[in-house]
Structure 1
Amino acid sequence: MNTTVVKSSMYDTVMRQFNQIADNINLDQNIRKILEATTNEIVVHFPVKLDNGTVKIFTGYRVQHNNVLGPYKGGLRYHPTLDIEDAKALAMWMTWKTALAGLPYGGAKGGIQLNPREYSMAELERISRRFTYALGENIGPEYDIPAPDVNTNEQTMAWIADTYMSTKPAAERSCHKHVVTGKPVGTGGLEGRDRSTGYGVYLTIKLWYQNKNENLKGKTFIVQGYGNVGYWVSHFLTQDGAVLLAVQDAHATLYNQDGIDAENLREHSKPLQGSIKGFSGAVEMPAEDFMGLSCDVLIPAALGNQITADNAYAIKAELVAEGANGPTDVEGERILRDRNIAIIPDILCNSGGVIGSYFEWLQNRNGEIWTMDEVMDKLERKLTEVFKKVANIAKEEDLDWRSAAYILAISRIETAYKQRGIFP
């Protein structure tokens, strides 16, 4: 008899993670009901005229999960597979991530269902601006603050901010600059915001090894995804003496046993819209062999549900550092735990991005300008503080790191609800 294995979705993964921790900490049943549900699920369909004169209807999403701790916060991604279920899962993870970091934010996520490679820059600008207009008052600098995510960047954020501000009276426009974070520095962005997520992944790996009285020199690592996060984590790790053995993206899987030059690979990929294919400093290998490469650290920094029951048995790394959101499904994680492979969970590992976003938001609100050194120092201190708290819970309660991080995050939200009460 043939049996079909049904792969879990990211939403299945986040709900199973949440329910496990809610049971573990005996979460108040009424608060549990609130956190199981999203607050708002916004779907917009909007027309855009393409370069050839035809009009196409696009579908955009913004899911707002919870805002008990502060305004909704989370990225916008442009990807052909994005749907409402993915946006719900990603929004929930943002709620846990901001709570874990101790930020005055809730969680949201969204984007547009499209492949940006199929459109010109002029078309992407019109799409982004029209999406912003369609969202209207569903975003705002004190209500819901988007940021870059997969296939979006500082240019996307500049278009969104400009469009949103143009809908406000002229005298008020400068007060709405912080409607998004991740903007170019010249339009109110933060020095260092571009590298904050990748830096956070690097720093949590460094701190994890420090916990073992080890350093990064000579450690080998492989990276899935070589966008903003994949590049910057590779940049910082190699600066500390680690060796980049392999990189995988949607177009190629590269390997070099002597190490791949992170900077040269970055320069190669820039003119190719981020593709690593054709890089002369490494050889191509079968994509299915990537996860099974011998290394110290595996860094999934692309999309969700990449480590599953199908490939978790093959992984040889001692540490998985989750640069992406939700890269490990529940069954994949169970296998890794059984094999004593440690995981730095996404809500801790890649939280440098939202912490950097918070600094940018503060800078805009207060009319300040911080230097790169100031930003990186603040980022390091904040991430180290959160890392140590999670490490202490994991040690004291004899828990895996994801459970420890979730307990800290969800307990903070539970405390806020108990102190504030439920309206009316």
Structure 2
Amino acid sequence: MATMTAIPKQKTKKVALKGMMDNVMEQFNSASDQIELHPNIRKILSITNNEIVVNFPVKMDNGEVEIFTGYRVQHNNALGPYKGGLRYHPTVDIDAARALAMWMTWKTSLAGLPYGGGKGGIKLDPSKYSQGELERITRRFTFALADNIGPEHDIPAPDVNTSSQTMAWIADTYMSTRPPAERTANQHVVTGKPDGSGGLEGRDRATGYGVYLNIKFWADKNNESLKGKKFIVQGFGNVGYWASYFLEKDGAKLVAVQDASGSIHNSDGLSVKDIFNYTQINDGKVKGFPEAFELDDEEFFSTDCDICIPAALGNQITKENASQIKARLIAEGANGPTNVEGEHALLERGVTIIPDILCNSGGVIASYFEWLQNRNGEIWQLDEVMAKLDKKMKESFDKVFAFAKAESLDLRTAAFCIAIKRIEKAYIQRGIFP
């Protein structure tokens, strides 16, 4: 396995997330109709349990005070503690957090984890702040959230524009607010920490590796090889990079990349390693990569390819651009990258979509491994982590594929059905208090 570090933060085009809640609710209702979900449980799952909004002051490097707004939405915890990432992005708002939290509930349920779903973040552009300012913002946000997070209650993780360093700051701040005897016992308040601070070896690549695995499983089901397959990636952060890295190792060819700086392409293929090295000296941006041609952003999705990996933000594939996509397979590395209308257009054309709650679940599965590692005081080796991830991802893929085939459903609806049915079973067995 590779040991590269310092993956560039995911940089993507600023896209309004308006409509994401509509998308997730339409997906939920479609699956609920399919499984004839009990109406009382449908009511419960249609709303969030808790929505926390905090406004907090932070002193900037120049001595001025700036007020930030942070969010944490806790959708459902019927199966266990709330679990989900924190993102730092100008598009963060309460509606986006609601939709993302709900997707996390389905994702953790589908993966068979003892978790519910939560999501949140801070509305800001991190590129406008120094490292010291980001640390103070993160620590103040953690303090403002207070007991709304906790290792057995709500466990954040990295997301867009947050990293293992962000998680280390959160963990340290949270543990510092605990009584001395309890501090080390709360290390697993977050996952995605650095290796030296209780993190899991391999957590950095887990989401992208999971995307690769799902693509490989799809190819295997179709008796095809990945060798020679052309793929494009939107977003060359942690997810996009590692998915590309493993696909290239299997013989697939990267032909186009898009991030916030622009789009590049080369029909003869792009070296994943060379692009990665270039971003390290170019502020994480792919624009200007010397071995590629510039591509108009509007033409990115129309690039000739077999596989398209949207690994940026939500609502990237819509009814307006779905007709341009030439790929046979969409592997959703991001959360909610395809809206409902875009998906309908793709499915009508026979395009297969591996849904986000399945495709990018490698990250939350690895987070579960890290959480267990911390709780049990263990240290897992990389080979062990990757083997466990392989097994868990294969179980999830096979389960969704079989259900979709048996019920003549698309993969997203099948995944939602399985996830919701598991939560429904928990409510039926336990009943509703009082």
**3-state DSSP of counterpart to 1:291:** helix
For residues 91 and 110 of structure 2, the distance between their equivalents in structure 1, rounded to whole angstroms, comes to 28
Q: Contact 2:404–2:410 at 8 Å: present in 1 too? A: yes
1:182 to 164, 167, 192: 192
Instruction: Please list the CA deviations of residues 197-256 of structure 1 after superposition, one character each: whole Å capped at 9, or x if unmatched.
Output: 000000000000000011110000000000000000000000000000000001110001
**For 1:238-387, what aligned pairs fall within 5 Å after superposition?**
238-387=248-397
TM-score w.r.t. length of structure 1: 0.98
AA matched with 2:322: A
Q: CA deviation at 1:42?
A: 0.3
For residues 272 and 177 of structure 1, the distance between their equivalents in structure 2, rounded to whole angstroms, comes to 34
For residues 143 and 278 of structure 1, the distance between their equivalents in structure 2, rounded to whole angstroms, comes to 45
Q: CA deviation at 1:277?
A: 1.6
* Partner residue, 2:70: 60
For residues 178 and 415 of structure 1, the distance between their equivalents in structure 2, rounded to whole angstroms, comes to 28
Q: CA deviation at 1:272?
A: 3.5
* Partner residue, 1:212: 222
AA matched with 2:395: E
* Partner residue, 2:95: 85
**For 1:128-207, what aligned pairs fall within 5 Å after superposition?**
128-207=138-217
For residues 232 and 17 of structure 2, the distance between their equivalents in structure 1, rounded to whole angstroms, comes to 24
For residues 73 and 26 of structure 1, the distance between their equivalents in structure 2, rounded to whole angstroms, comes to 27
Q: CA deviation at 1:271?
A: 3.6
* Partner residue, 2:61: 51
Instruction: Please list the CA deviations of residues 12-52 of structure 1 after superposition, one character each: whole Å capped at 9, or x if unmatched.
Output: 10011001111111110000000000000000000000011
Q: Percent identity?
A: 67
**For 1:26-45, what aligned pairs fall within 5 Å after superposition?**
26-45=36-55
1:397 to 399, 404, 407: 407
AA matched with 1:173: R
2:86 to 54, 76, 96: 76
1:24 to 25, 28, 34: 34
Instruction: Please list the CA deviations of residues 343-379 of structure 1 after superposition, one character each: whole Å capped at 9, or x if unmatched.
Output: 0000000000000000000000000000000000000
**3-state DSSP of counterpart to 2:108:** helix
For residues 85 and 314 of structure 2, the distance between their equivalents in structure 1, rounded to whole angstroms, comes to 14
For residues 19 and 108 of structure 2, the distance between their equivalents in structure 1, rounded to whole angstroms, comes to 22
**3-state DSSP of counterpart to 2:118:** strand
Structure 2 gaps, min length 5 = 1-15
2:119 to 109, 119, 143: 109
Q: CA deviation at 1:279?
A: 1.2
For residues 209 and 407 of structure 1, the distance between their equivalents in structure 2, rounded to whole angstroms, comes to 23
* Partner residue, 1:420: 430
Q: Does 1:222 align with 2:227?
A: no
AA matched with 2:163: N
* Partner residue, 1:126: 136
* Partner residue, 2:22: 12
Q: CA deviation at 1:8?
A: 5.8
Q: CA deviation at 1:126?
A: 0.3
AA matched with 1:277: K
TM-score w.r.t. length of structure 2: 0.96
For residues 153 and 14 of structure 1, the distance between their equivalents in structure 2, rounded to whole angstroms, comes to 26
- Name the Cα RMSD after superposition: 1.0
Q: Contact 1:220–1:242 at 8 Å: present in 2 too? A: yes
AA matched with 1:105: Y
Q: CA deviation at 1:7?
A: 9.2
Q: Contact 2:70–2:121 at 8 Å: present in 1 too? A: yes
Cα distance change on mapping 1:155 and 1:271 into 2, 3 Å: farther
For residues 145 and 374 of structure 2, the distance between their equivalents in structure 1, rounded to whole angstroms, comes to 22
For residues 277 and 159 of structure 1, the distance between their equivalents in structure 2, rounded to whole angstroms, comes to 31
Aligned residues: 419
Q: Contact 1:323–1:349 at 8 Å: present in 2 too? A: yes
**3-state DSSP of counterpart to 2:54:** strand
Cα distance change on mapping 1:82 and 1:8 into 2, 3 Å: closer
Cα distance change on mapping 1:309 and 1:8 into 2, 3 Å: farther
Instruction: Please list the CA deviations of residues 133-157 of structure 1 after superposition, one character each: whole Å capped at 9, or x if unmatched.
Output: 0000000000000000000000000
Q: Contact 1:8–1:329 at 8 Å: present in 2 too? A: no
* Partner residue, 2:420: 410
* Partner residue, 2:244: 234
Instruction: Please list the CA deviations of residues 322-348 of structure 1 after superposition, one character each: whole Å capped at 9, or x if unmatched.
Output: 000000000000000111000000000
